Amino acid sequence: MALRLTIRPQDRREHLAHFLERVGEFGAFIGTFLKDGFRRPWEVRELLRQMDEVGTRSFLLTGTTGLAIGAVLAMQSRGTLVQFGAEAMLPNMLALSVIKEIGPVLTSLVLAGRLGAGIGAEIGSMRVTEQIDAIEVMALRPLNYLVTTRVLACVIMFPVLTIWTDALALFGGYIESLLAAGTDWRLFIDTAFTTIRFSDLFVDTMKTSIFGGLVGLVSCFLGFHVRGGTRAVGQAAMQAVVASSVLIILADVIVVRISLLLFGDVAS
């Protein structure tokens, strides 16, 4: 006999009410951040430390991801382009795909997995062990010290890491082209950037600042609102990764639509 799992209407209402409550709390958190998060004192030293944590320690992860994606895209696309006699356009197709969409989104999702869990767990642990209360006793502002520094670090470093990932992806594509067809690197570069404009690179790279801000805000919010023991910290870390990833995808749709309205098909 098949096991049937049902959710009572009352449970669905409770889940919906809890979700809407969390959305409201997140909105209030953003409002507080925008209102009070940039007041003095500015924690410049902590900001630099967070930029190192977000950026320097993510170069290997994002670079490896870009290298692999570029090589795989080139391998997967070559056969199809050969069938249509358009193999020479492979570098340009690769550059367009990576710079306009795959690079920014994939880099942000990879960083959401690493930083979302890390920030959520770190701040959640500080909340559970009352370290945030200790920060207040030390006359420091937790919002400035913990939230603003991490959010700004994500906003600043996400575009840098995206450019790094894009470059490694193109390098991976070139290595595949060199091994498969003996493509000269000068020809590869010239073909890759035939239709790429500065606005493509600028708009589609800078949108990752929005993604970074979302990752930082969501992760800090969930960490700040941890209640309970170590299990709650783990749940906050998991929720930070899931929520950050979903928001990145939704924000990408909105940003692409707005950029198309403003710039046409020059930027996506």
Q: What does the pLDDT read at residue 9?
A: 64
pLDDT at 206: 86
Per-residue pLDDT at 60: 95
If one compares 85 and 243, the residue with the highest pLDDT of the two is 243
Q: How many residues does the chain have?
A: 268
Q: How confident is the model at residue 268 (pLDDT cuts 50, 70, 90)?
A: very low
Number of H helices, E strands in the chain: 12, 0
What per-residue confidence (pLDDT) applies to 267?
41
Phi, then psi, of 86 in degrees rounded to 5 = -120, 30
Query: pTM higher than 0.75 for the full model?
Result: yes
Is residue 229 a contact partner of residue 215, using CB atoms and an 8 Å limit?
no
Given a cut of 90, is residue 20 above it in pLDDT?
no
Summarize pLDDT for 194-215 with one digit per residue, the tens. Answer: 888 777 788 888 899 999 999 9
Residue 1 is classified by DSSP as: -
pLDDT in tens, 107-134: 999 999 999 999 999 999 998 888 888 8
pLDDT at 6: 54
pLDDT at residue 3 greater than cutoff 50: no
Q: Is 237 exposed, middle or buried (0-12, 13-18, 19+ CB in 10 A)?
A: buried
Amino acid at 216: G
Average pLDDT, the chain: 88
Q: What are the pLDDT digits (tens) for 57-93?
A: 999 999 999 999 999 999 998 888 888 888 888 899 9
pLDDT score of 1:
42
From 27-36, 157-166, 209-218, 239-248, the region with the lowest mean pLDDT: 27-36
